[in-house]
Chains A and B, each alone.
Chain A
Amino acid sequence: AQSVTQPDIHITVSEGASLELRCNYSYGATPYLFWYVQSPGQGLQLLLKYFSGDTLVQGIKGFEAEFKRSQSSFNLRKPSVHWSDAAEYFCAVGIHTGGFKTIFGAGTRLFVKA
């Protein structure tokens, strides 16, 4: 069955430090992959997406992610975290099943300390 695993429930980083959020997926075909961010009381905002082509994708707010087929991973990175990046981050896979739907991981909550 299709699934998305985010191994870290929460992560704390210092402001200005680098960040990597892990994501592994399970899907038999070539996946469409997404990272979304959710601030408290808000809906989900798309950070970036991978459909095909270059495996390193750039997103908004200085985020990037790398698709590694051999590891079934799509980790999110940012070289220097800002306090405003504190939020919940969701990795997701888009699958074709009589249509197209998006399956989400459980999320990683990011805390940023001064």
Chain B
Amino acid sequence: GAGVSQSPRYKVAKRGQDVALRCDPISGHVSLFWYQQALGQGPEFLTYFQNEAQLDKSGLPSDRFFAERPEGSVSTLKIQRTQQEDSAVYLCASSLGDSEAFFGQGTRLTVV
């Protein structure tokens, strides 16, 4: 596609509910990143894929967070048993490799 596409744009979840956030990267981009951006903060790195391999998941805040990219294209970030502190904008980005990342518009998650 023309750019990185994320869905849904907005998600409201009740505390304890599981959510799944989708990212469609730019076609041909081997690298895919997930970031969490709290209100008034910069994006915080969560995890990184090169094709289908998850090379770095050091930023995932707890074992409730899980990401996958099974065919090296679309990626899903899953959050289990959501908590209020999970409320944030989740940004997905893709790149060709050692180059700049192109970002989607993000998914705003609100946990109530």
**B50 and A99 form a contact (CB under 8 A):** yes
CA distance A48 to B27 in the complex (A): 22
Dominant SS among interface residues on chain A: strand
Closest residue of B by beta carbon distance from A45: B103
Q: Which of B14-22, B76-84, B94-102 contacts A (4 or more CB under 8 A)?
A: B94-102
Q: Which of A11-19, A61-69, A70-78, A102-110 contacts B (4 or more CB under 8 A)?
A: A102-110
- In the bound complex, residues from chain A placing their C-beta under 8 Å from that of B44 are 104
- In the bound complex, residues from chain B placing their C-beta under 8 Å from that of A44 are 43, 91, 93, 103
B12 is an interface residue with CB less than 8 A from chain A: no
A-B contact count (CB 8 A): 56
- In the bound complex, residues from chain B placing their C-beta under 8 Å from that of A96 are 98
Partner of B100, one of A46, A99, A104, A105: A46
Q: For chain B, give the interface size range.
A: 20 to 34
B25 is an interface residue with CB less than 8 A from chain A: no
Closest residue of B by beta carbon distance from A98: B55
Closest residue of B by beta carbon distance from A32: B98
**B31 and A100 form a contact (CB under 8 A):** yes
Closest residue of A by beta carbon distance from B9: A41
B45 is an interface residue with CB less than 8 A from chain A: yes
CA distance A4 to B43 in the complex (A): 12
CA distance A66 to B48 in the complex (A): 29
**B42 and A43 form a contact (CB under 8 A):** no
Measured CB to CB, the closest approach of chain B to A44, in angstroms, equals: 4
**A49 and B100 form a contact (CB under 8 A):** yes
**B56 and A105 form a contact (CB under 8 A):** no
Q: List 27 A-B contacts (CB under 8 A).
A: A4-B42, A32-B98, A41-B105, A42-B105, A43-B4, A43-B91, A43-B103, A44-B93, A44-B103, A45-B103, A49-B100, A97-B56, A98-B56, A99-B48, A99-B50, A99-B56, A100-B31, A100-B97, A101-B48, A102-B101, A103-B45, A104-B42, A104-B45, A105-B42, A106-B41, A106-B42, A107-B41
